[in-house]
Amino acid sequence: MAQIMAGVNNMLNNETEMKSMDANRYATKKTIAQGMLDIALLTANASQLKYILQVGEQHQFYKVMLILISLSIVLQLLVGILFVIIGSLNINRKNDQTAAVILNDVILVVVFVISTINVIISGFGIEYSSQPLRMIMDST
């Protein structure tokens, strides 16, 4: 009987600890983590942009790649701005909760579009090399 009561007390203590979790702090940490991932993708896109600009018109899909990479970077900057806005909200306030839900939905859609664009970019195949122009010149 004592073991059952101890188990019930532990469950109640755990439930109290879960209720006391600061949702605002959790959301802020989550936003920071998402922002770090966005920075990693932005860095990759900057590298791809550098490559495509070095190769220039010689790349088979130069214009398409330039447009897609630029669009991806612009959308990532937009998501970064939205992360800053959503990170400043206090979700313990009712008005901020509504805004946070809407912003989360917008961010989700934009991140999906960014992911789709980057899959397409990968499909066109960017080959990394320390000397991309020499490789293209040698193959012709």
Q: Does 44 reside within a domain?
A: yes
Domain-located, residue 110: yes
Half-sphere exposure of 65 (CA within 13 A, CB side): 25
Does any domain span residue 7? no
Range of 53's domain?
A: 39-127
Task: Give the per-residue pLDDT at 137.
Answer: 54
State the pLDDT at residue 5. Answer: 56
Burial class (CB in 10 A: 0-12, 13-18, 19+), 85: middle
Residue 108 lies in a domain: yes
Q: Return the DSSP state at 129.
A: -
Q: Is 103 within the bounds of a domain?
A: yes
- State pTM to two decimals: 0.66
Q: What total number of domains does the chain contain?
A: 1
What percentage of the chain carries pLDDT values higher than 70? Answer: 72
pLDDT for 7: 57
User: Residue 115: inside a domain, yes or no?
Assistant: yes
The answer to the question of residue 69 being in a domain is yes
Residue-wise pLDDT for 48-98, tens only, equals 899 888 888 888 888 999 999 999 999 999 988 998 898 888 878 888 888
In this prediction, residue 123 carries a pLDDT of 85
Q: Where would I find the H helices in the chain?
A: 2-19, 23-55, 62-87, 94-124, 132-139
Average pLDDT value for the chain: 78
pLDDT of residue 89: 84
